[in-house]
Structure 1
């Protein structure tokens, strides 16, 4: 089958490559000429485990090519970004999706599949995209088969999860669901779940909203523990030994294009009925300020104002900095007058050495759980003016005997000591 994918980012590119390795002829389309040039020169432009090797296989089989413009195909997959609108509810910005749909309209033919993989607000496929296609003279469910098929993948393991995770096939009509399901059967080994388009849209959003709400509970607990001089991490560890409790871990905030974005789409769709979701978002977006306030207090007695930030991406072992609380915290500290050195072996390819990053620093602030941060070498901490580490991701396991290791559970001890000294 000939497939055209619109959008070659963190989802569109892996999806294209996986279909290409399943013997489909895939045309990948992106508006960024640098992305197209990089791909046509044989290299992928994102960091994702094992993806370059799979891309090499797709090129060897002559099953993939990249272009700035679409072409006639059997199926069209829309995988473009859906950021927040700049409004009070941070609703879903559909401008990229609409533009992508408009770009394929001249190439649509009877019998084509149109699949929206972009994360979108509830009822978008039925109320927005379907009318755009039918305005050209086609009938959805008879001439064109339209469905929303949201991805459910973990960055760093995308290639595996695109194949093995369950997948929702949300057709506008039953005929749409059946037709699109046939395509995904050629790739997906996990369960294919049939639904309506709107059910699929809301399901995807609620999967991420569930996680966001539970992280908010853990983050609120971390704040409470700091206020009451109680180790919140120990509390979570003990509470999770209850057979029906699974508290999440607190952190410096929530990032990425899923958890930090999707809950707003639900809340914006029904703002008067979503107070819990909106409150959770406020708690999680407040965490960077909480971390910065804690750092300011920890630095009150420091020998200098230098801080080394470890990690700029929103999660570990990837290069994606979208909506990253780590970047926000780093900027807030700089604006507060601190001398900040950033160290991230994934986000910054031309990175300074770890020892250089820690030179004369009074605090090493860990904001991302890269595996490289599990062990902090003594050659780095020995160069610090004050060997203190605040690990907001609980990733550091080894850092030397002379280092003071703090986290979101035990930092209240140092904060209270500073208050007493003052």
Structure 2
């Protein structure tokens, strides 16, 4: 059955919104991407991209050249509106940390004047339970005549940076409508580009399911990070320990690191904690374990630096994971900034995936860093760092938070 092309407005052209908008455009839909960043809008309209993601440049160029994708700072009327804006948390005294829904609310208010009866509004942003209902409430409070005339659903993104385009198509998608009609309308849209299964539920269950996915990983990583601290105390290799334990057929421990970053795993568990603070004890503790890990790394660096009169510390990586340019909630970046603030020594920072205009401190080529550093602090397991010759490390103090330089 041939599917009908829609006019789709995508609010937010970041790591989720831009790939989604481009994918929909290449499937024949007329797509308007909306972002508050004029530079990003101009870049996209020229067929280029403002973020780094494998093959996204090809997809965007194809979508723009076809005439199906345009970018703007203002929305227009359409058939479907997709909200894909950030949902960070607000720093507050004590716990839980509170979700910041200001971007979601602003995007909703921006589209309200353009909504028509029968429109579908989809929230893709990872959000606390009840946010889809909140969006619908904002719409009908502003325009009461649309009550019962607008469909709203939550379809959380489930993609991995570095593999977004493949997973956008192949991963199963959860769709939770405020009613069955909304779920059905959203399902038809996602079937136009998704090969994975379309799983229908209600909006609250869809919202919690996404939070649970990332909280599961956060708890597992917290276990690995706590193991790394225990192993360091006992002078045992944590990576060998985990590798041996994982040979058990029902054990799958993730890898430790300098903390947890990114727009999902470091943030989403707090949304559950904020919704059920007395019940989410394990989830809260896992967050605290992972949030404490960067400080543990910093203490290790300071202890090693104290051995030198004028230590030169080479920091390898500032993104939140390997082989991408995304620094959102990056523990590596937090560690570098705190070492700078505390003036622990002369800092040299290298990250082959980050352009100099993205940071407010100089970046050093890897070859120069390896030559000058007394202490090597490996924070991100970029491919380039895995190729470092071990004989270049012979006279250096190495603090490897990723188990790469073994």
Q: How high is the TM-score relative to the length of structure 1?
A: 0.89
Q: 1:378 Cα shift?
A: 7.4
* Other-structure match for 1:401: none
Partner Cα distance (2:275, 2:48) in 1:
40
SS at match of 2:144: coil
Q: Say whether the 8 Å CA contact 1:303–1:362 is kept in structure 2.
A: no
* Other-structure match for 2:38: 33
Q: Say whether the 8 Å CA contact 2:348–2:364 is kept in structure 1.
A: no
SS at match of 1:146: strand
- Superimposed CA distance per residue, residues 201-252 of structure 1 (whole angstroms, 9 cap, x where no aligned partner): 0000010000001100111111111112222222211111111111111110
Structure 2: 5+ residue runs without aligned partners?
1-5, 358-362
1:283 and 1:378, CA in 2 relative to 1: closer, same or farther beyond 3 A? closer
SS at match of 1:16: helix
- Superimposed CA distance per residue, residues 278-310 of structure 1 (whole angstroms, 9 cap, x where no aligned partner): 111110001111111112223333464110101
Q: Please, which of 355, 361, 377 is the counterpart of residue 367 of structure 2?
A: 355
1:280 and 1:293, CA in 2 relative to 1: closer, same or farther beyond 3 A? same
- Superimposed CA distance per residue, residues 123-160 of structure 1 (whole angstroms, 9 cap, x where no aligned partner): 1212x1121122212556x5211000000000011011
> Which shows bigger deviation, 336-345 or 164-173?
336-345
Q: Say whether the 8 Å CA contact 2:313–2:376 is kept in structure 1.
A: yes
For the pair 1:137 / 2:144, whether they are aligned, the reply is yes
Partner Cα distance (1:348, 1:395) in 2:
23
1:262 and 1:106, CA in 2 relative to 1: closer, same or farther beyond 3 A? same
Q: Say whether the 8 Å CA contact 2:47–2:65 is kept in structure 1.
A: no
Q: 1:338 Cα shift?
A: 1.6
* Other-structure match for 1:5: 10
* Other-structure match for 1:44: 49
* Other-structure match for 2:360: none
SS at match of 1:71: coil
Q: Please, which of 201, 204, 212 is the counterpart of residue 195 of structure 1?
A: 201
For residues 318-357 of structure 1, the aligned pairs below 5 Å read 318-336=324-342, 337-349=344-356, 352-357=364-369
> Which shows bigger deviation, 283-292 or 297-306?
297-306
Q: Say whether the 8 Å CA contact 2:313–2:346 is kept in structure 1.
A: yes
For residues 244-259 of structure 1, the aligned pairs below 5 Å read 244-259=250-265
* Other-structure match for 1:413: none
For residues 228-307 of structure 1, the aligned pairs below 5 Å read 228-302=234-308, 304-307=310-313
- Superimposed CA distance per residue, residues 32-54 of structure 1 (whole angstroms, 9 cap, x where no aligned partner): 11111111222110000000001
Partner Cα distance (1:64, 1:22) in 2:
11
* Other-structure match for 1:367: 379
* Other-structure match for 1:419: none
For residues 27-106 of structure 1, the aligned pairs below 5 Å read 27-87=32-92, 88=94, 89-106=96-113
Q: How high is the TM-score relative to the length of structure 2?
A: 0.93
For the pair 1:107 / 2:119, whether they are aligned, the reply is no
* Other-structure match for 1:399: none
Q: Say whether the 8 Å CA contact 1:292–1:333 is kept in structure 2.
A: yes
Partner Cα distance (2:98, 2:118) in 1:
33
Q: Say whether the 8 Å CA contact 2:117–2:149 is kept in structure 1.
A: yes
For the pair 1:376 / 2:382, whether they are aligned, the reply is no
SS at match of 1:115: strand
* Other-structure match for 1:387: 396
Q: 1:91 Cα shift?
A: 1.6
Partner Cα distance (2:352, 2:200) in 1:
41
SS at match of 1:272: coil
SS at match of 2:306: helix
SS at match of 2:90: coil
Partner Cα distance (2:58, 2:245) in 1:
43
Partner Cα distance (1:314, 1:391) in 2:
15
Partner Cα distance (1:32, 1:20) in 2:
21
Partner Cα distance (1:358, 1:303) in 2:
19
